[in-house]
Structure 1
Amino acid sequence: CDDIDVVHVCTPNKFHKDALLSAIRAGKHIYCEKPLAASAEEAREIVGALDGYAGVHQMTLQNRFFPATLRAKELAQEGFLGEVLEFRAEYLHSGSADPKAPLKWKLSKELGGGGVLYDLGSHIIDLVRHLVGEFESVHCATKIAFTQRPSYDDRSKMVPVEAEDLAIMLVRTCQGAVGFIEASKIACGTQDELRFEIHGTKGAMRFNGMDADWLEVYDLAEKEQGWKRIDCVQRYPKPASGFPTPKARVGWIRSHCACLANFLLAIAEGRQAEPGLDTGARVQEIMDAAYESAEAGTWVKC
């Protein structure tokens, strides 16, 4: 269809591959929700189809686009941290904490391909990798908190839960750092809490998405000053500085606005956007390595 310029893929994960391959063949610009697909195998097929594709493609990995996480990336690139030694990162949610909550498609392996690792873990894996570098191997454990839930269509009927609502990973990076990543939908008392802390040979930084106006930093050369809070509301690069106005308080929706603005700006300027579908495929490889690790109970290279 000549009157369609952009395809936004936001279906259950099972249907991503066919939608993406159709959009690639049609030469449409693509904005894709995470995860890229329902498996690493599907993700590789999608990336393989990009050969000769001239459109702009981007993943909806919006947590890169908080003002504070944009500034964190700048500081990391400037060498503020020195050599990264260790990190911990969590994405905590309480959506599955109630055992009476009905089974939705994100807890269905048939529709989702995975559970909370695909849903929330994709975000935190991408953000940590973006800040500390490539992952080398993972050791993962998962948990299904409640093995049965009410059916979404018939609340009087109990159905089995197939996909995990908790995933905890140890990570080794290619640069030698060691870290911890948790993705949970059974963390009662949390809403949508993404946070990280990174320690290096020269300094440290930490962020909590529930207080997204701020990035906290620690400079080892000025350790007597302790942790400092950097006001990031109007101190961060494009695309977040353009839309919405810097006067708007930072929040979850703002990162989505900036992520989408990044994609549309790339189309207008005729360049590829980041993070692209290839990044989504790499995140998928890491997540599937984590599932393999959870099954085997050992470290798995990713």
Structure 2
Amino acid sequence: MNDLRYLLVVWCLATLLIQAPIFAQTVQLQPTLRILALGDSYTIGESVSPNQRWPIQLGDSLKNRGFVVDTTAIIATTGWTTGNLLAAISAQQLATMDFNLVGLLIGVNNQYQNRPLAEYQVQFAQLLDSAIAYAGGQVDQVFVVSIPDWAYTPFGQASIPGPISQAIDQFNATNKSITEARGVAYIDITPISRNGISEPVLVAGDGLHPSGEQYRRWVQAMLPVLTGDLTSIDPELKMPWSVNVDQETGRFRLFGPEKGELPVRWEMLDMTGRLLETGVIQSDHSWKAERLPAHQMVLLKIFLRNGQCFWLRV
């Protein structure tokens, strides 16, 4: 093999942005940030200390990356549905407060209360439009976080977890479609929440809500989307595999997987986030990319079978 070079591996906690362009819907951060987080128990951080809430952890992480966080405002209450959140924000003058980073996570209580999906669709769209307005009409200063799956908690396991997960997927498909239609960044943290049974440390002491550790992992999944920097990774995680490539033939080889860890799916994207090609890595650990651009950097995304993924940058 000629021009063989090892790839820089960047570990990713969750499936960050599916098949939509990665950087086409990133957030444009200002040097000084005024953060507004809208939501329910997941945003107010039920059963964790205030400094473990994801908006607070996000602000701390951005400070560590050189941003000034002037304000972090949270409008969220345990048990709120989209209707409750709409009523709460309508009573405040949020559009006059110059927020430049607005996050929205809402919907689990609509699902829990068996409220109609059609109602959620209408009200979520209204909330997202409000979030954009609160960011001065700048869609690139808004992001949506997917609904975590409470089926993967002790509380959820005591119920009927299968239907819960199916319903969560339906609600997330709805909010994702609305989010992408408006050109807003979407961050999928649901796969992280689905490790709650295999990793009890991800569940708070109430047996239902995320722990501070899970929120920390959410933030690590948010950072590449918010900063556009794939090196915004969790230094405590180990890089599981490595890959090399023959640039002339476009053939890749994966090193590190153990028996039973393959096959897995891969995607190749250009540096604008445009999907170039997708396929499956079989048990022989090698594959050929037909559309590998000559002498251009690309991104590989390899999906692990546990719902996580990692990035490789050529």
Shorter chain as normaliser: what TM range? Answer: under 0.3
TM-score (norm 2): 0.24
TM-score of the pair, normalised by structure 1: 0.25
